[in-house]
Each structure stands twice: as C-alpha cells, then as structure tokens.
Chains A and B, each alone.
Chain A
Amino acid sequence: DAKTTQPNSMESNEEEPVHLPCNHSTISGTDYIHWYRQLPSQGPEYVIHGLTSNVNNRMASLAIAEDRKSSTLILHRATLRDAAVYYCILRDVKVGAGGTSYGKLTFGQGTILTVHP
C-alpha cells in the first residue's frame, strides 16, 4: 500500500486557518486521497476525499498538488472542536463480489492538532 507522511503534531489558534500537510510521493494513479479525523475516545470521522482536483465541503477543503505527490487539508477557521488526530490515507478503489465497492484504509500515526483559545 502507498504510504503517507504527516507531521506528528501542529498547533493553531481558534478562528485561524489551519493547513495540515501530507506527503504521498508513491501515490498511484488510481489512489484516492482520504482524510479522517479522530476525537479522543471516539471512532474516526470522514472529513473529505479527492483524486486530482481540489475539493470543498462544509467541513474543510482539500488542495491536491498538480503531481499528486502531496496534499493539504485546510480548515478555514479552526474551532476548539477541531482539536483531533487527523489522518491522511491513500485508498485504491476495488470492486468486490457482487460489484460492491470497498477498500482497506491503512492508518498511519496521523497529525495531532491542538487548537488554542
């Protein structure tokens, strides 16, 4: 599986933008870039994903480099509730039995985001 590299930790102040980087130099052409976050003692939560183009949703934006070897998750205005571990994951699309789409996620250590009031 293609591997990702993230900083161990980052800090931000409340209501400021946060840019969380991820390097994935061995990404293949069919790998999607997924971001999840995990609050303490909770299950991970899907944030956003993309393939080639930049993506926006209500939670965040995902900026993907032109060569796809890196990406950045952007939280436009950090809140205290955004303090979590953020995981950048590459996922290859597979179609299994019965035509169902599935894919294993390989979680690394992630980036611990601390948000200061």
Chain B
Amino acid sequence: DGGITQSPKYLFRKEGQNVTLSCEQNLNHDAMYWYRQDPGQGLRLIYYSQIVNDFQKGDIAEGYSVSREKKESFPLTVTSAQKNPTAFYLCASSIKGTQYFGPGTRLLVL
C-alpha cells in the first residue's frame, strides 16, 4: 500500500541528546514537510522540502535540522539546542498542493 510511514511511534530523549525521527513515503511525491504539534494546538511548520537536495526553514526551525538525500526520505533531527522538544511530530508529503500525513511520532524528554 502507498503511504507515509514515521518511526518510531514513541521516542524518548535524554537531556543534551540529539534524536532523529524517520519519515518515508512511497507516493512518489516531490514535496515533503515536518510539523510540530503541542497539546491542544494546531500544527506549526518546522522544515519543508520541494525537491531532493533542497529544503527550507519553516516557522519554527531553530533547534532542528533535516536532510533530503532521497525522494522517499526526509528525516528530522531534534538537536540538543531545542530546549522544549516534547511534542507530537508529523511528517507530510504533497502532490498538487494536497498534503498527506503520516501517523506521527511522539517525542518525550526524560
């Protein structure tokens, strides 16, 4: 089945640790996105990529980094510089402007 997968479903981060969230899609979409969602809030854009080897900062990029070496993959690294990383992270890909979301990764700080 075509779709977007995110792993892991839950992730725990220790203080000062970098963690990487995986996002893979087999929909052959060019554009991919990372959003963060805090409890009771809407989604906020972290980074997006229009095409392989290209990405742009979204509204809240500080403390995060991404790469786009393959069309299918858009991993997000939450660095130790992100002081409040606890949130629900959502990856999406799009075609003709409609975005399709993965199931999300919930990141918790120990």
A interface residues, Cβ below 8 angstroms from B: 32, 34, 36, 41-46, 49, 87, 91, 93, 96-98, 100-110
Contacts and interface: CB of A to CB of B under 8 A. Distances in A.
B97 A101 contact: yes
Given A43-B90, A43-B92, A98-B51, A105 B99 contact: yes
B101 interface: yes
A104 B45 contact: yes
Interface of A is mostly: loop
Interface of B: 4, 30-31, 33, 35, 41-45, 48, 50-51, 54, 58, 88, 90, 92, 94-104, 106
B101 A102 contact: no
Contacts of B50: 96-98, 100, 102
A87 B31 contact: no
A101 B95 contact: yes
Given A43-B101, A101-B97, A104-B45, 6 more contacts: A87-B42, A96-B31, A96-B51, A102-B31, A107-B35, A107-B43
Contacts of A109: 41-42
A100 B100 contact: no
A86 to B, nearest CB: 11
Given A44-B90, A98-B51, A102-B50, A91 B97 contact: yes
A102 B98 contact: no
B52 to A, nearest CB: 9
B104 A43 contact: yes
Given A43-B104, A100-B30, A107 B94 contact: no
A51 to B, nearest CB: 11
A104 B48 contact: yes
B51 A93 contact: no
A42 B80 CA distance: 26
Nearest to B49: A102
15 contacts: A41-B104, A41-B106, A43-B92, A43-B101, A44-B43, A45-B101, A46-B100, A49-B97, A96-B50, A98-B51, A100-B31, A102-B30, A103-B94, A103-B97, A107-B42
